[in-house]
Structure 1
């Protein structure tokens, strides 16, 4: 009933305006060329035109949905709708009056009628928005925070519009900052461009800025890092519009404006994968994920769940983490068939039993011992878990006729200086060896450090900052490649779709990031000043560490794939008999292997381990 009354009211108003437009069209025509009066012979035409126009215009407006719009939010889209509807209705009116019921009808009246109707109808709609914005909208106290927007582009305008739509409750935009010379001293939405990034401190001081919003979704990590550094020195609240949103495609969501995070400062664009396009191989398959309760494994579970697998088998050694991801998935995906298995991948018989029970079509192997210092102290466990465990899974996959097996590896497997890295390199050899004698497609995915994963540097830094410091960095020159958990998970799924067998897929991770810079950035983002409020302490390199990581050995080389940021390493020749002897040795004496025996075995099968390890020892 409310909608019907509103529609009738709008139609009555439009009828009045249409009749007024018809009268004005005739009056203006004869006021210009005559004495200002409409000749009697045209009065009948005027009357018929008014009735005809009213019926046709109202009908067209109704068909075109002009009575179903909220005009207090009118914008360019609504204006285009009005122009289109008025043009169609004007053409219909002229056709009836001039051709179907021939009457004396001055040609200039046609153009005047179109313009007058457009002006009156359009004006009546947009006057409502003007009144809504400036009179009817109540003023909300406490909305006078001054906001500076970095980026005078589409995202910046959307940020300003969102602040306005929220009645400035979160602040009032007073200006933009943009490095483009062509935008200086111009205005967007009535808000001036006040300078470039070099002018930020001056603008903040002169305009009493309370909050800064970085609205540059397409900017690189290096640019964001520099701007964040400038803004943090001003001491005002800093927010950012996430860089994963694409302004051009209209995916920028101003509701996602949030605090700046370390991920925004990576020296490269975020890697995105169109999973809808590549993940079809998961639909209808039983998918088994080892290490399913871990950082990468649990995110893989979430991503895989989107594609309607026939069954999702979550395998893990820690019952609490497996329980948590199981409960989350059951809550978020009630129709998903989720099963869990508490399993140690070193248990060969149980591994084969689980594979025969569920007959998975796709396996993601994310279970591993990954902490470098711990594995230096427990080398036999690294051998048992990362090598023998991977061998158990690979054999079971072959016996169960798995279609695709994806091993998650690490950049530490390249020219390894740590036992963890060397065992992961051997794990890569295991799956490449199995690929040569099995119908299953075995591949590996190699990437760097994952931001936010358990035991990674970011959570460690955050805990240290929360305690007041110091933040511990092993070496001032240490650098690492970084990626986010979603990036890592998407890369793994992408690799599975591209697998032909035997490949090692590598992500182009851009430029490595200095750990010291990362520590300082995180301290600033936490509201403190490095070396003033929070001290940074250098602890020295730990056993097995090196200053920088590599993604390829000298022998591997790469070739491109259909994804511009993913490459595939050429497989190396593997001494299969030597590899089998090592696995047999681990099965027979795994827990009793001494550190010297472990080092000797790894150096024999990974020749670069001996060279790099000796260099690392010499540098310590």
Structure 2
């Protein structure tokens, strides 16, 4: 490049004299040869200093024009000074227009060579055989930058941009034609489009859900590019293309966490999480470690899960991490962990949550979910733990399965502990947080659907009309901690999960997001089939978050509601626990099930009583 630039500068000097003197062959004198040599000697170090030889020509940005202009201007000024000194020494006169012509011609040659080389390197003959045609949805700066970054990178070939703004239709942005979104079905067929990349920053928030719903109906793979504000550096824009997450289709608005509540609950505290290796438990640990607690105790029954979460949180900060391997039903292990570390805040996430499995293993489900909660809550009360938060489930509302019933018993146990703490004025807070399914959690339907789609189907549904509440795991963890900070004791907090999602629609959306069509009578030979297998034991057609929605009260957080239905005043909880424990010890499964649901039916009659016994 230095050799070519030297030749270009000599050519620029020759052309400058030719234009100035109006002759093709200006005389070659010793003074002119010397001036030409000085021009190159002055320019090349300037070019090196300005970075003209650091740029990879194939990816030379348009902004390099200004760098070339500045470099030539500096080189020309240095040359002018040399000319002035030579004239003072009597080495001949240089016409005043020569430096100006040299600057203009030199800039054109130096810049022209580079951009011509870039054009040759990037042009090619069109789409390669190994490239897939794609559209970018959006016509803003991010979309144009993405199209440029994809050119010659990877196996995607951008056929054009899609935009809803009619003023852009038919125009070229960054060399790519902008098409209207209404023509997408025809464009997909015409160009054989395999993938649409959504430039989300180019799509207003109010329109994103509608755009997502529209493109997922087209039978092509859909990916997303995050907002440009989320990218550290535009050079990495291609690697930031990701799969559309299913929670982006749920139509729920995300409310930023209240940092004051998070710090109030966690900062500088000794925190313990039971079930720390589970989906919710591990996400709680990730959140807790970011709020700089004094110490974090990871309590987990699975050795592998405990090892994984311990290694992850150790890499995230300098907080003291204490792994404890044990079951929540083991009182001595729980007591030793709480007492020896002086636990102040405890999140009880440990539970058996898979409905069919708990239905098939009733005694173990009751032992872990009911008596495990009783053990941890009792020890927490005895050891003066300041705040105890139970992670409950929407299946605890009017339960029809053992898992939901055990979760309701866990809520009642925690509520009973709150009543005792209130009567003794200990200042301890016991509360429960109730919410539905979290996307991607262990045993959730979303990972199951993904696995079935990846293996070619069919996607199995128990009932397409079944509805469930869904929430992203990080958001659920944040709301759990914030709810705990809001509690005054005896509360059951309900997290706003938006509208329930029809499982049939969820399966269809996931199939379309993966780029497949749905196999049907109209399309029997391709796509992913959906197979209805019938409801499993204990499953409800729909879930509820409230016993009585009218009794729920707002809190200072817009996504958290407080159901201050309170205590089971006048009901002998301890007697029911004794009966249930006896049935467990005698392995009377049917008796245990009857006791479990008998208390639930009694409790539903007094659900509208608050912590002080007021109706």
Question: Would the TM-score normalized by the shorter structure come out above 0.5?
Answer: yes
The 2-side partners of 1:519 and 1:273 are apart by: 30
* Cα 1:90/1:241, change in 2 over 3 Å: farther
* Aligned equivalents of 1:468, 1:145: Cα separation in 2: 24
CA shift, 1:516, in A, is: 1.7
Q: Report the CA distance shift for 1:165/1:464 in structure 2 as closer, same or farther (over 3 A).
A: closer
Q: How many residues align?
A: 574
What pairs with 1:57-68 in structure 2 (closer than 5 Å)?
Answer: 57-68=43-54
SS class of match (1:426): helix
**What is the distance in 2 between the residues matched to 1:100 and 1:288?**
82
Instruction: Quickly say closer, same or farther: Cα 1:439–1:171, change in 2 above 3 A.
Output: same
Q: CA RMSD in A?
A: 5.2
1:50 offset after TM fit, Å?
6.7
Deviation of 1:164 (Å): 2.5
Map 1:492-531; keep pairs closer than 5 Å: 492=480, 508-524=496-512, 525=514, 527=516, 529-531=518-520
- Aligned mates of 2:443, 2:45 — CA distance in 1: 67
Q: What SS does the aligned partner of 1:177 have?
A: strand
Relative distance call for 1:357 and 1:185 in structure 2 (3 A) is same
Q: Secondary structure at the match of 2:560?
A: strand
What pairs up with 1:169-184 in 2 under 5 angstroms? 170-184=155-169
Distance 2:268 2:83 in 1: 64
1:474/1:541 contact within 8 Å kept: no
Residue equivalent to 1:206: 190
Structure 1 residues 303 and 343, CA gap change in structure 2 (3 angstroms): same
2: CA distance between counterparts of 1:22 and 1:435?
93
1:14-33 pair list within 5 angstroms: 14-18=5-9, 21=12, 30=20
Aligned mate of 2:552, from 556, 579, 601:
556
Residue range with higher mean Cα deviation, 533-542 or 292-301: 533-542
Q: Which residue in 1 is equivalent to 2:151?
A: 164
CA pair 131-145 structure 1, distance change in 2 beyond 3 A: same
Q: Which position in structure 2 is the counterpart of 1:482?
A: 470
Q: Deviations over 1:481-500 (max 9, x none)?
A: 2123344345556767x667
Matches within 5 A, 1:254-273: 254-255=238-239, 257=241, 262-268=246-252
**1:143 to 2:130 alignment:** yes
Change (3 A) 1:415 1:102: farther
Provide the C-alpha distance between the structure 1 equivalents of 2:55 and 2:493, rounded to a whole number of angstroms: 51
Query: Which of 327, 334, 350 in structure 2 is aligned with 1:344?
Result: 327
Q: Distance in 1 between matches of 2:190 and 2:178?
A: 14
Is residue 418 of structure 2 the alignment partner of residue 422 of structure 1?
no
Pairing partner for 1:290 from 262, 267, 274: 274
Structure 1 residue ranges without an equivalent (≥5): 1-8, 233-237, 612-620
- Equivalent residue number for residue 225 of structure 1: 213
Alpha-carbon distance in 2 for matches of 1:73, 1:459: 40
Cα drift, residue 515 of structure 1:
1.4
Q: What TM-score results when the alignment is normalised by the length of structure 2?
A: 0.72
Residue 454 in structure 1 maps to residue 442 in structure 2: yes
Residue matched to 1:3: none
Provide the rounded CA distance (Å) in 1 between the counterparts of 2:342 and 2:603.
32
> Distance in 1 between the 2:551 and 2:390 partners?
21
Aligned mates of 2:502, 2:184 — CA distance in 1: 26
Q: What is the CA–CA distance in structure 2 between the aligned matches of 1:100 and 1:560, rounded to whole Å?
A: 80
Aligned counterparts, 1:399-414, within 5 A: 405-413=388-396
CA distance in structure 2 between the aligned counterparts of 1:97 and 1:440, rounded to whole angstroms: 88
Query: For the residues of structure 2 that align with 1:506 and 1:107, how far apart are their CA atoms?
Result: 82
Report the Cα offset of residue 531 of structure 1.
4.7
> Cα offset for 1:102?
9.2
Unpaired runs of 5+ residues, structure 2, are 584-590, 610-615
Query: Residues 530 and 113 of structure 1: is their aligned pair in 2 closer, same or farther, counting only changes over 3 Å?
Result: same
Give, in whole Å, the separation in 2 of the partners of 1:435 and 1:122.
79
Instruction: Tell me, in whole angstroms, the C-alpha distance in 1 between the residues paired with 2:430 and 2:101.
Output: 74
- How many angstroms apart in 2 are the aligned matches of 1:415 and 1:535? 30
Please give the secondary structure, in 2, of the residue aligned with 1:165: coil
Task: Tell me what 2:588 maps to.
Answer: none
Quick check: 1:345–1:390 contact (8 Å CA) kept in 2? yes
Q: Which residue of 2 aligns with 1:119?
A: 108
* Structure 2 residue corresponding to 1:567, chosen from 540, 559, 562: 559
Return the alpha-carbon distance in structure 2 between the equivalents of residues 441 and 81 of structure 1: 65
> C-alpha separation between the residues in 1 aligned to 2:383 and 2:48?
64
Q: Is the 8 A contact 2:159 2:176 kept in 1?
A: yes
353 and 125 in structure 1: CA distance in 2 versus 1, 3 angstrom threshold: same
8 A Cα contact 1:376 1:419, kept in partner: no
SS of 1:241's partner is strand
**In the alignment, is the contact (CA less than 8 A) between 2:296 and 2:320 conserved in 1?**
yes
Q: TM-score, normalised by structure 1?
A: 0.71
Structure 1 position 607, deviation (Å): 4.7
1:582 and 2:601 are equivalent in the alignment: no
Secondary structure of the residue aligned to 2:52 is coil
SS at match of 2:532: strand
| Corresponding residue of 1:78 | 64
Contact 1:388/1:583, CA 8 A, preserved across alignment: no
Shift in Å at residue 299 of structure 1?
4.1
Against the structure 1 CA distance between its residues 82 and 375, is the aligned structure 2 distance closer, same or farther, given a 3 Å change threshold? same
Shift of 1:75: 0.9
- Counterparts of 1:416 and 1:108 in 2: how far apart (Å)? 92
Report if aligned partners of 2:369, 2:407 keep a CA contact under 8 Å in 1: no
Distance 1:157 1:163, change over 3 A: same
Name the CA shift for 1:377/1:16 in 2 (closer, same or farther; >3 Å).
Answer: closer
| 2:198 corresponds to | 215
Report the CA distance between 1:74 and its aligned residue.
Answer: 0.8
Distance in 1 (CA, whole Å) between partners of 2:414 and 2:94 is 86
Other-structure match for 1:618: none
CA distance in 2, matches of 1:434, 1:97: 97
TM-aligned CA deviation for residue 224 of structure 1: 1.7
- Structure 1 residues 482 and 123, CA gap change in structure 2 (3 angstroms): same
The 1-side partners of 2:341 and 2:270 are apart by 7
CA contact (8 A) 2:285 2:313 kept: no
Q: Distance in 2 between matches of 1:95 and 1:433?
A: 91
Q: Is the 8 A contact 2:150 2:238 kept in 1?
A: no
1:25–1:112: 8 Å Cα contact kept in structure 2? yes
Report which stretch shifted further, 528-537 or 19-28: 19-28
Relative to structure 1, the CA distance from residue 22 to residue 382 in structure 2 (aligned partners, 3 Å threshold; closer, same or farther) is same
